[in-house]
Structure 1
Amino acid sequence: MDYQSLFAEALYQQLRDQLDQEKVYQLIEKPKFTEMGDFAFPCFELAKIFRKAPNQIASDLAEKLELPPLFEKVEAVGGYVNVFLDQTEVSGSVVAEVIQAKDHYGTMNHGNGEVITIDFSSPNIAKPFSMGHLRSTVIGHSLARIAEKNGFEVVRINHLGDWGTQFGKLIAAYKLWGNEEKIREKPIKELLKLYVQFHDEAERDPSLIDEGRLWFKRLEDGDQEAHALWEWFRDESLKEFNSIYELLGVTFDSTQGEAFYNDKMDRVVQLLEEKKLLEESDGALVVQTAEGMPPCLIKKKDGTTLYATRDLAAAIYRHEIYGSERSLYVVGNEQTLHFKQLFLVLEKMGYEWSQGLKHVPFGMMLKDGKKMSTRKGKVVLLEEVLKEAVSLAQQNIADKNPSLPDQERVAHQVGTGAVIFHDLKNHRLNDVEFSLDAMLKFEGETGPYVQYTHARASSILRKASYRVNAAQLMFSDDTAWAVVKCLMGFPEAVTRAFEGNDPSQIAKYVLELAKSFNQYYGNVRILDAVEGRQEKLSLVHAVQIVLKEGMYLLGLEAPEEM
């Protein structure tokens, strides 16, 4: 039940001539201190309308408000109308609602089954899956689950970077210095060495750049040797990528990369010509976008295509195949201009659905304050980080709980969870400094802390031989109120996370719930309680349910034991 909406409705009945209901709802605040109530309505904006002091307006409103029985009292304090919920009634109602709904608690129907495509991860073929790729992968994976929680049908797309001039450079490097045996033994490591060597040599011999362009032109023209090498590099890369995705628990509905759209770009160029949007500029073909913004390059002077051409083809194809009216592109903020141009060109082409396209940018993963660079070989491999995290988790389990069953599986859950949570607890627009030490801490604001809290709740329920009975829950004291209020906030956090494309809203929420529950656990005797035992255990069960669902939305697993 949305108690804030009930309060907003009561206020609106008194203010319908001055404010609309949505505005009333938005103005409601949640006081930091319990003694100030559960919800507060500030009257300062009404002072000019009523030509009265805010405290007088608050006093008048408090007298007239007709609140439902679930509210215990209302009072005017300064310029605020503060209301207090009936803790006994509401606690029982909230806990029962969570237990009955189980993992459906907090599920919203904003999407009403509408299809949304989410383009995320999208690593480049023939390059290692580094920590730099982690952000798009885990942010996109979490947003997909959050969108489903909000009632959307999600199509997960991995738009692989399997085309472009870098493949011409790589083929040129292989022809000059490559060793087939070494590549077959350690494909990605050797391909990275070739890629780095190419750029080192090109600084001394710029003619290599032309050689790389020539090989890419041959690839585009269907040259048999170039295509065979490209396909080999692609297949080896996909094997490595899939092992990483398996470690992270990430899945996709489509892995059609840039190359898939090679035969679909002529149609795009034709459509642009028909709509008289194409212009020639220094031998290249461009589309003018907006004042103060550079034109969108469609074809280079040598006839090769670009990212924009493929992304236009991909957007049209996805809309036609999936019928999606909304699409998210989870791509770093350095591509902001590209997506502005892309969306403007689609709009100029007359596609109304282009209004539903959104770039979801994010900050960089930094190492020592600097961007990681594949070209210069300055990368931290994600697979190595994940394996080290799992190894550390195994060591912690061996030290602290050596009799734990299925240690390998729990170590995997905790280690990967630590890496994912370290990223998602930050707002996506912030840069994240790569720090293995910070990432793998098992105390404080970390994934393992939240997972351990869930395991603690599970342990309590096991020891108590808990059986669900949420029909008549009457909480007789106020010790549980902070936890109950936190549980009430989960649906709102789910909505906020979707509307802001911001998984950190869920990460912050589960941290808050974990802290609130651990404080409750530290102050209340649960297992040996006689009075209110069923209520206490039911509260533990509700926390267990919501923590598990919150972690699921982030892409973390929830161990029953740790």
Structure 2
Amino acid sequence: MSYKHQVAEMIASALVHMGVDNLNKEQVYGMLETPPNPAMGDIAFPCFQLAKALRKAPPMIAADLAANISGSPLQEVKAVGPYVNLFLDQAAVSTQVIGTILAEGASYGKSNLGQGRNVPIDLSSPNIAKPFSMGHLRSTVIGNAIANILEKQGYKPVRINHLGDWGTQFGKLIVAYRLWGDEEKVKAEPIKELLHLYVKFHEEAEKDPSLEDQGREWFKKLEDGDAEAQHLWSWFRDESLKEFMKIYDLMNVSFDSTHGEAFYNDKMDRVVSLLEEKGLLTESDGAQVVSLDEYDMPPCLIKKSDGATLYATRDLAAALFRHETYDFAKAVYVVGNEQRLHFQQLYKVLEKMGYPWAANMHHIPFGMMLKDGKKMSTRKGKVVLLEEVLAQAIADVQKVIEEKNPSLANKEEVARQVGVGAVIFHDLKNYRLNDINFSWEEMLTFEGETGPYVQYTHARACSLLRKGNYQPASSSELVPGALEGKEAWAVVTLLNAFPEVVDRAGSQFDPSLIGKYVIDLAQVFNKFYANVRILAEEDAVKASRLQLVAAVVVVLKEGLRLLGLAAPEEM
């Protein structure tokens, strides 16, 4: 139990003695604040809410309450105006927090909230035969971090790459390949060559509009199971996936399923039948729709007037398949903000179909990736390729290593970890709904709020442990006074907060909370390192301080792992 929870229990118990029995410890916990200045205490409890029940002024309530609270882990309790300010026993708390982290290691902050239940997470989902652009980075890294965080909470994430592998564009691509394609070129550089063919198709179609009809015809052939169309489509899909896997491997992202749009082709008729059986389908301008008037939403299109199904039909089929396959605790869709209405409609249709589990489905929207303040676009081949960005980031880090530490072991591996980490962290340190402006300068600096800064702090702490000949097995009671001072206490306070930050990041599907946390921890640790002698002290004091350093290494490494970053021990 965290100290904040212990304090909440003590306050709730004291309030019962004072005649307030309508606030349980969870509610009290939710009311606790962190004072703006550490000199005012470690935890503060505001008493405004109690004035009505106790018919007293908040400052009087605070004074009474302060007199009724004492004992470990508190050192002092003060009433200051309408607040009760609580000071923790720093020596006892430091011993407890550091001891727990060193005993639990990477399991520190883990909970069993999810009880091993499945959570399918729809993430990444690039279109096959098109480049993996910076635009797809966001869904990939946000989804992967959410999966890691939920796993830490005891859920079993199921990472699903719902590939864009169906639609009229494949008819167009088949036409382009049959007219201008070269098998060897496609095999050599699949994505580059397929994009070239796709762009060429649109350029030629402007001069010869009949190409558009041919594209539709070939997609119809594909839908009808034509052997040549099926063969080309499967080949384009396999070659694309191979190329994507190179990028995923570089980023250390893996998937449990790559069932894309095409997988649901034979599952949509059932959705239409179910909607008919439940009397939910109505006709609108020849199309079949589900009315959502009662929710002030436009109708959800299920079937076009020509009988073709739509995204909503496919996503309903996918939702049913995922629920039946995984019996999920919740289902998560990490998809751009512009799809917000689509998912709202999807969940309401499932609700109208009588599926209570629709309430456990969550769309996790995110903002756009901008370049020079403008949206990136694949149209006409104008796109910033993620593969090129990662390669450039790795090359830039290699250059820095050659300048600063040319004798570093595993140079290539460290350059990959730091370069790729810089790109991922640049995204995840921001709240997901914010748009992000792509910036090399901001991404790759070893100072400030960046991945390399946090990784470098971790490596520096590891270096301290090596120089101090730290032996984990000999970790023992902290020497009194070894960790006195505001710098050490600031580190301990943040280390203590880690489990709570993980829980909030999981419940809010917000990896940026972990991103901000590791930056804060790196900053307070660097302040401790700059102001406190660690290695030049007598052995017992040095050993105590190295235990704090070792705890920081554990938590920084685990925080970075949750975000999908490696933590090199040397840089």
Q: TM-score normalized by structure 2?
A: 0.95
Q: Secondary structure at the match of 1:110?
A: coil
CA distance in 1, matches of 2:293, 2:27: 34
8 A Cα contact 2:190 2:243, kept in partner: no
Q: One-letter code of the match for 1:483? A: V
Cα 1:371–1:205 shift into 2, 3 Å: farther
Distance in 1, matches of 2:98 and 2:329, equals 37
Report the CA distance between 1:202 and its aligned residue. Answer: 4.5
Return the offset for 1:203.
Answer: 5.0
Give the whole-Å Cα distance in 2 for the aligned partners of 1:130 and 1:24: 47
The 8 Å contact of residues 390 and 423 in structure 2, kept in 1 or not, is answered as yes
The residue type equivalent to 1:514 in the other structure is: A
Matching residue of 2:2: 2
Aligned residue for 2:72, secondary structure, equals: coil
Contact 2:94 2:492 in 1 (8 A): yes
* Residue 298 of structure 1 pairs with residue 302 of structure 2: yes
Distance in 1 separating the partners of 2:50 and 2:372: 51
1:384 matched to 2:393? The reply is no
2:122 corresponds, among 119, 122, 130, to 119
Question: Secondary structure at the residue paired with 2:77?
Answer: strand
Q: SS of 1:532's equivalent?
A: helix
Counterpart of 1:489 in 2: which secondary structure?
A: helix
1:200–1:495 distance in 2 versus 1, CA, 3 Å: same
Partner of 1:376, secondary structure, is helix
Residues in 1 aligned to 2:394 and 2:86: alpha-carbon distance in whole angstroms? 48
CA distance in 1, matches of 2:358, 2:495: 37
Is contact 1:249–1:555 with CA below 8 Å preserved after alignment? Answer: yes
Residue 483 of structure 1: aligned partner: 491
> 1:284-312 CA deviation, whole Å, 9 max, x = no partner?
22222344312222222222222212211
- The alignment status of 1:420 with 2:424, answered yes or no, reads yes
Whole-angstrom CA distance in 2 between matches of 1:447 and 1:43: 41
1:192-230 alpha-carbon deviations (Å, 9 max, x no partner): 123233334445655544433222222111122222221
Find the residue that maps to 2:253 and give its secondary structure.
coil
My pick for the range that moved more, 328-337 or 373-382, is 373-382
Identify the match of residue 402 of structure 2 among 398, 401, 404: 398
- Would you say 1:217 and 2:226 are equivalent positions? no
Deviates more, 1:109-118 or 1:407-416: 109-118
Contact 2:494 2:521 in 1 (8 A): yes
* Contact 1:96/1:473 (<8 A) preserved: no
Larger CA deviation: 188-197 vs 425-434: 188-197
Does 2:322 align with 1:313?
no
Distance 1:104 1:389 in 2: 31
Equivalent position of 1:525 in the other structure: 533
User: Residue 136 in 1 paired to residue 139 in 2?
Assistant: yes
Which of 489, 511, 515 matches 1:507? 515
Which residue in 2 is equivalent to 1:190? 193
**Partner deviation per Cα, 1:374-417 (whole Å, 9 max, x = no partner):** 12322100001001111111111100001111101100100000
Q: Which residue of 2 aligns with 1:100?
A: 103
Contact 1:366 1:433 in 2 (8 A): yes
| Change beyond 3 A, Cα 1:523–1:282 | same
Offset at 1:488? 0.5
User: Which residue in the other structure is 2:328 paired with?
Assistant: 324
Q: 1:435 aligns with which of 439, 462, 471?
A: 439
- Check if 1:535 corresponds to 2:535: no
**In terms of mean alpha carbon deviation, does 193-202 or 32-41 score higher?**
193-202
Deviations 1:169-201 (A, max 9, x none): 322333444344433332211221232333344
Match of 2:568 in 1: 559
Deviation at 1:143, TM superposition (A): 0.4
- Residue of structure 1 in register with 2:478 after alignment: 473
Separation in structure 1 between the aligned mates of residue 510 and residue 299 of structure 2, nearest angstrom: 31
Paired letter, 2:500: E
Residue of structure 2 aligned with 1:492, choices 495, 500, 506? 500
Contact 1:199 1:375 in 2 (8 A): no
Task: Give ranges in structure 1 of 5+ residues lacking alignment.
Answer: none
Aligned mates of 1:425, 1:206 — CA distance in 2? 46
Residue identity matched to 2:388:
E
- Kindly report which structure 2 residues correspond to 1:244-323, keeping only aligned pairs within 5 A, or say none: 244-291=247-294, 292-323=296-327
* Worse overlay, 296-305 or 404-413: 296-305
Q: Is the 8 A contact 1:88 1:474 kept in 2?
A: no
Give the Cα separation in 2 of the matches to 1:333 and 1:471. 51
Q: 1:270 to 1:201 in 2, by over 3 A?
A: same
How does 1:12-91 map onto structure 2 within 5 Å? 12-15=12-15, 16-65=20-69, 67-91=70-94
Distance 1:210 1:28 in 2: 65
Secondary structure in 1 matching 2:379:
coil
1:212-265 deviation line (CA, Å, top 9, x unaligned): 322222211112222222112111111110000000000111111111111111
> CA separation in 1, counterparts of 2:546 and 2:23?
43
Distance of 1:110 and 1:383 partners within structure 2: 37
SS at match of 2:354: coil
Q: Any stretches of 5+ residues in structure 2 without a counterpart?
A: none
Shift in CA distance, 277/207, structure 1 to aligned 2, threshold 3 Å: farther
Q: Hey, what's the Cα distance between the residues in 2 that align with 1:202 and 1:49?
A: 75
- Given that 1:365 and 1:372 are in contact with CA atoms closer than 8 Å, whether structure 2 keeps it comes out as yes
Q: Deviation string for 1:126-154 (max 9, x for gaps)?
A: 10001000000000000000001011111
Q: Deviations over 1:451-480 (max 9, x none)?
A: 001101111111111112334224412241
| Whole-angstrom CA distance in 2 between matches of 1:176 and 1:82 | 77
Corresponding position of 2:340? 336
| Higher alpha-carbon deviation: 191-200 or 488-497 | 191-200
The separation in 2 between residues aligned to 1:301 and 1:229, in whole angstroms, is 29
Equivalent-residue separation in structure 1 for 2:119 and 2:435 (angstroms):
27
Q: Percent identity?
A: 63
